[in-house]
Structure 1
């Protein structure tokens, strides 16, 4: 019987010489392929010893570390479902995710154990472990007593491997269910499309709680048996120092902007590099051109989503990488642009992007109605993105549906933030819009109407949000006004607000 477990495919790609270095950390620690094999086996054995139900969710909110990645591999290996959570999430958010996903196991940082465990046990979670970014924590202590031999659990392509929460424009987060087949098909396509070869070395400087760092980068290196230079946090000077030892780098546009601010970024520093990849947010054409001029390399921009992993890419070879576009649909992916009536649009016309392919998720966790809503009768997923395809077939993303803000590569949904602001004392109504920002690409700005007789303070509202929400979601400024601009139907005209505040950070 063929085992379609994603881990089995990644493990099969490990080099024969298991004692070679698989991962080198920024502070000089070396992990061999054998370390990954044995470490993931021990953690998988620990998870299986807990007698978890079939399809149990393992929720993880920890700082980036090689051990955290090994926990991901162990979860796949043991046949459970990995649920990564942004390290910036605070109590209100964690309470929702744990309540919704009902994980059997929660792994958090030691510093957060007090409040996270309280939420988890109250929600019925049986096991809470800690994992530090310094190779400490109860998870490692317990796993140390387990065998380093483990038989990979057999999985089918449609079996769930991970749940990634992605907020909806209604503000309620949805758990995208990704299967072993979804993730493996995407990893194999990208290995070929991006020309991964023997001897490639990846600089991994991304977080590992979302698609880009967890799936695109880690799967890319592992399925090619390639070494990773592992940086716990992005540090532009450290990246430049490591470039001569690497061949591939993946980053969000903000990282490229920060690298360009370093005088050490030169053609010579990039002499061994083969490929720079950008995604998770739009790359400004100025950044694209400045990178070409400074390094002699052309950034390859691609496009994907939590629900689909990667969908499109500019060509690695055999074609032009065009700034401002996300290239072509990847092999196996069908992408179309349709009008509001669902009819296909001619080249150059802007419409709604819909996709279909082996990488596209099965649906949202415990939301059958929402899932049905998001797919067309002929099986295409409605991405909620707006874009166009030119006469040459290059795809350009024009914007996110409605009002999504992409700040530093992270998605911020105004409706979610407005929900929290509207519950604060003295607030009658709020509107959150995205405005341009030189570093983050876009940031949120809140505009608030006071209740009669109340005098809410904008700075205090921002400070209050900081104590209960991830920092990237918190509006950078809050203004208290007498009224919000509205259309004849009474709907707030966010386009007017965006125009009004667009020069705030210019």
Structure 2
């Protein structure tokens, strides 16, 4: 690898730097030349306020072209990027500032006073900047006096480029340390595997504080030296209208369920597209099939996580199978292990372990957790439960922490959810384990249905008893209108457990 990731990107920039990099619908266009100049000014400003190579720079800003330039500036200055969800509140931010001790924090102007107070409370010496477009003290304003070029900071491939914190649904959030080589390896593999072409245009509707929108999507574009259409947020009708100008779309399953709900999603609307990719949460088979029938396109589903970007992908050329996440990437080794750590035979369900150049270097300030999550031979224990079929396709069954042990039997929620989702009138479902006086744990199913439905909790349970072993059948079913999700569309099962604890206890 080339050391600093920025140099790999720059080697792929178009010779004509006036070519567009970011195009905002009904807004400005940022060229590759603009990216170089603005990111250099930002990098020079970071250096001027005391940021040194290896220092952390926390960034909690709205999605914008300038925010992408700031990401690139962190690379160029040798700083470690710490992207933070824009939904995080004061208590959460205080933890991140205390744990990571960033040398600089960049936030929205409206949160300047809050972040300054939190930095002081956390006892860290940091410079708080804003990414406003005008006004004294804003990054844009202060950087105007800086030079539009900077020598790229010399970094080794193993030096950390970014720390991404987990959502922290259980325990305290963990900061996954990703090196320049980690990010470069995954980007290069995905760029080749997904067949990026010189005329590709990515339609980018994802947030950029998460690995999906930040590293999977943007890094592929930077390696390709081509444009992306940059939407501040996802709107199904706007996205459908923009498909005619794009060739590649990356989204979470929620995006696809909203797209198929529109009568405007047609083969004609997709006439310029070549590839639709889905990830960050399981894609329902119904959505997969409906999208294909409406557009003629088969969604490519892949699988990965913060700790290493992408691990598997359905093929670009070949059968993309609903309910699977495809094959391990060419440079990733994947195996399924049992509770005793021994490798299981093909077709057996167990923990997914992965190894490759994209796998992170460990958790920030958590050496014991890092050691616990890696095997002696260097495989990362993903915590996801999966299975590999006879053809080599990987399927995700659930999270190990979501496993329900009922009466001594293992119940994998994904199996039960699949059975429920196949019922007529069910939109989707989520099954969680709840404490039970007799069985230790038992399943609670939250089932999303339309406002008008003939389905009943008792009817769903009766239907399942005819298709699943009795110990797998949920003890309670609750009909709901929607499931709580995080910013990337993943169902927040911890929220469900907490929200329905009293109702569960009253019903057992």
TM-score range, shorter chain: 0.7 to 0.9
Written as runs of structure 1 = structure 2, the 5 A alignment for 1:131-142 is 131-132=131-132, 138-142=138-142
Counterparts in 2 of 1:135 and 1:252: CA distance versus 1, 3 Å: farther
1:249-280 Cα deviation digits (max 9, x unpaired):
00000000011111111001101101000000
Distance 2:444 2:68 in 1: 35
Secondary structure of the residue aligned to 2:499 is strand
Conservation of the 8 A alpha-carbon contact between 1:211 and 1:309: yes
Counterparts in 2 of 1:121 and 1:260: CA distance versus 1, 3 Å: same
Written as runs of structure 1 = structure 2, the 5 A alignment for 1:38-437 is 38-123=37-122, 124-132=124-132, 138-167=138-167, 170-317=170-317, 319-403=318-402, 435-437=446-448
Counterparts in 2 of 1:383 and 1:122: CA distance versus 1, 3 Å: same
The Cα shift of 1:299 comes to 0.2
Where relative contact order (Cα < 8 A, 6+ residues apart) is larger, the structure is 1
The Cα shift of 1:205 comes to 0.2
The Cα shift of 1:142 comes to 1.0
Root-mean-square deviation (Å)? 2.8
1:319-371 Cα deviation digits (max 9, x unpaired):
21001000000011000001111111122111010000000001000110110
The Cα shift of 1:29 comes to 1.3
Secondary structure of the residue aligned to 1:481 is helix
Distance 2:107 2:444 in 1: 32
Q: State how many pairs are aligned.
A: 434
Secondary structure of the residue aligned to 1:163 is strand
The Cα shift of 1:436 comes to 4.7
The Cα shift of 1:113 comes to 1.5
TM-score normalized with structure 2 length: 0.81
Counterparts in 2 of 1:350 and 1:83: CA distance versus 1, 3 Å: same
The answer as to 2:30 corresponding to 1:9 is no
Distance 1:184 1:17 in 2: 23
The Cα shift of 1:437 comes to 4.5
1:76-131 Cα deviation digits (max 9, x unpaired):
11101000000111111111111111111011111111212210132213200111
Counterparts in 2 of 1:297 and 1:471: CA distance versus 1, 3 Å: closer
Secondary structure of the residue aligned to 2:44 is helix
Distance 2:449 2:161 in 1: 37
TM-score normalized with structure 1 length: 0.81
Secondary structure of the residue aligned to 1:68 is helix
Conservation of the 8 A alpha-carbon contact between 1:62 and 1:107: yes
> Which shifted more, 137-146 or 361-370?
137-146
Conservation of the 8 A alpha-carbon contact between 1:250 and 1:277: yes
Structure 1 partner of 2:499:
478
Distance 1:296 1:187 in 2: 28
Secondary structure of the residue aligned to 1:149 is coil
Conservation of the 8 A alpha-carbon contact between 1:106 and 1:125: no
Written as runs of structure 1 = structure 2, the 5 A alignment for 1:493-504 is none
Conservation of the 8 A alpha-carbon contact between 1:3 and 1:154: no
The Cα shift of 1:51 comes to 2.5
Distance 1:483 1:86 in 2: 32
Counterparts in 2 of 1:433 and 1:99: CA distance versus 1, 3 Å: farther
Secondary structure of the residue aligned to 2:58 is strand
Distance 2:53 2:153 in 1: 12
Conservation of the 8 A alpha-carbon contact between 2:52 and 2:77: no
Q: Which runs of 5+ in 2 are unaligned?
A: 404-412, 415-429, 434-441, 451-483
Distance 1:438 1:327 in 2: 30
> Which shifted more, 3-12 or 239-248?
3-12
The Cα shift of 1:194 comes to 0.3
Counterparts in 2 of 1:482 and 1:330: CA distance versus 1, 3 Å: closer
Counterparts in 2 of 1:433 and 1:101: CA distance versus 1, 3 Å: farther
Conservation of the 8 A alpha-carbon contact between 2:58 and 2:81: yes
Distance 1:95 1:361 in 2: 24
Conservation of the 8 A alpha-carbon contact between 1:67 and 1:135: no
Structure 2 partner of 1:457:
none
